[in-house]
Amino acid sequence: MTPFTAEQLLILQTAQLRRSSPDVWAEFSAALQNYTGQQLHELAGAPVEKLQVAQGRVQSLMQLIKIFETSLVMADKILDNRKK
């Protein structure tokens, strides 16, 4: 059996955390959304020479948020595919 990819491990661990500690997860998720909003604000006001760095930071945060938001469904799919 092949090992999980880094993204699959992140999905599986996120899903485990969400299921085991929904209150902690909700607090973390709210803090992450707040931080992402702050980074979007900084992106909008970034000087040209720092624009690419700010944009990359926001893109990474958005990718993580997508992974986190879909982790429950994706974790189930990963584990189902593993059983086949």
- Indicate the DSSP class of residue 48: G
CA distances from 44 to 35, 54, 63 (A): 14, 9, 19
- Over residues 59-82, the pLDDT tens digits come to 999 999 999 999 999 999 999 998
**Average of pLDDT values for 9-25?**
97
**Average of pLDDT values for 12-25?**
97
Q: What is the pLDDT of residue 84?
A: 76
Q: How far apart are CA 66 and CA 9, in angstroms?
A: 15
Q: How far apart are CA 26 and CA 28, in angstroms?
A: 5
- Over residues 23-51, the pLDDT tens digits come to 999 999 999 999 999 999 999 999 999 99
Domain boundaries of the chain, sorted by first residue: 50-84
**Average of pLDDT values for 10-19?**
97
Report the helix count and the strand count for the chain, using DSSP H and E: 4, 0
pTM recorded for the entire structure: 0.86
